[in-house]
Amino acid sequence: MNTITLHPGRDGVGVVRRTVLPGGLRVVTESMPTVRSVAVGMWVGIGSRDEAPEHTGATHFLEHLLFKGTPRRDALEISAAIEGIGGEINAFTAKEYTCYYARVLDEDLPLAIDVLADVVTSSLITPEDVESERGVILEEIAMHDDDPSDVVHEQFTAELYGDTPIGRPILGTVDSINALGRDRIVEYYQRYYRPPQTVVAVAGNVDHDRVVELVAAAYDRAGALNGDAPPAPPRVTGPGVASRSGVRVVDRPTEQANLVLGTTGLARTDDRRFALGVLNAALGGGMSSRLFQEIREKRGLAYSAYSYTSQYADTGQFGIYVGCLPTKIDDVLKICRDEVARVVADGITEEEIVRGKGQMRGGLVLGLEDTGSRMSRIGKSELVYDTLMSVDDVLERIDAVTPEDIALVAADVLNRPLTLAVIGPYAGKDFTDAIS
């Protein structure tokens, strides 16, 4: 075993340590001795963008199936084991990783690790469970499709990235879920759910060596610590995605129109991401932002209006979302384009920069006040970054952003070809002018 300290912390608080077990399994912990809870996450470096066409939807399908039973526990015993001690257990699937997690009292850490390791390494994936969860996932897709504010983001991503793995929905489609047989799912599970692709992240009132001992015992019990394979490298690059421009309109008789206007953004490791974050805060990051003030406060055209950024290994997104009355969409789109053009031409004010930095700083620090968020930070970082930046390092990078940095990133990102997705009663309406 190889153990290193990734961050020394202060006075025993916030110490982050990493151990590599046989087979390439990584264990990362952060000490929070002043709390009484522990968050455990088992992160697998596989997401929906890794699916071949014949596996579309398999990553999320597995998220459901792994809770259905192992040789040691059935579905009820899995949930009851954690809920019976007042804890919570769940999972989520993203484009580039999947996480199975639990949050429990510190004294119940051994049980949480045992249950999660059992789930991740030893799922039975029976034919009966596949068919049962197929129906559940189809219901989830239907529920998602009933919410236009969710669908418009999915449609924007599909139009932005085209028919590529990163452009397809994480849940899969009705057709792809119906086509997924048990053999395909098991093949996917056995190929990717391996120790080299797995990170066990634990944050809370824990001792690192004790966590390593518990994880090693749980994985050894499942026969998953064989061999001397190295850990998979961090996901800091990818195949790249071509920049696209287009309009996608979903005609629905809704009372509110939903739109996303945007373009490709920055990759997760791009040093300019801090400047883009400050710019995003000023343009549409809160109630004091330009878009919110212009669209809602001054003109009353919408209830919700904001901008956002998201990052992946090799690309990203910058988008503006607005929900408005269908008759107001042309006015809203004009304001969005005008505000973006104004930022590119004139930049943002010193007051907006200060406010944007404060928003980013506060959001970062306040978002790390519990064990779950701390666990997510170290687990995700181990999968997708070369190094773990300390909170202080991130704050310094935010403070170092200059007006020139913001002007340069605005000139790049906000001048890229635009893509628009719209959901509303717009059969036959031409939105081409909105992106030209």
Q: Which residues are 30's β-sheet partners? A: 16, 203
Which member of 30, 63, 339, 352 is catalytic?
Answer: 63
Q: In the chain, what are the helix, strand and coil shares in percent, each to the nearest 5?
A: 50, 20, 30
Look at residue 94 and give its three-state secondary structure.
coil
Residue 189 half-sphere exposure, CB side, CA atoms within 13 Å? 22
> For residues 121 and 67, is the Cβ–Cβ distance under 8 A?
no
Which run of H or of E encompasses 413? helix 403-413
Q: Do the bridges between strand 316-324 and strand 302-311 make them parallel or antiparallel, or are there none, so unpaired?
A: antiparallel
Q: Which residues are 98's β-sheet partners? A: 44, 93
> For residues 422 and 259, is the Cβ–Cβ distance under 8 A?
yes
C-alpha pair distances (Å), 18 with each of 28, 108, 110, 211: 4, 22, 18, 11
> For residues 262 and 319, is the Cβ–Cβ distance under 8 A?
yes
First to last CA, the chain: 57
Q: Which residues are 200's β-sheet partners? A: 27, 42
Residue type, 295: I
Q: Is 396 a catalytic residue?
A: no
- Cα separation, 140 vs 148, in Å, equals 14
Angle (nearest 5°) at CA 121 between 115 and 126: 95
- Which residues are identified as catalytic? 63
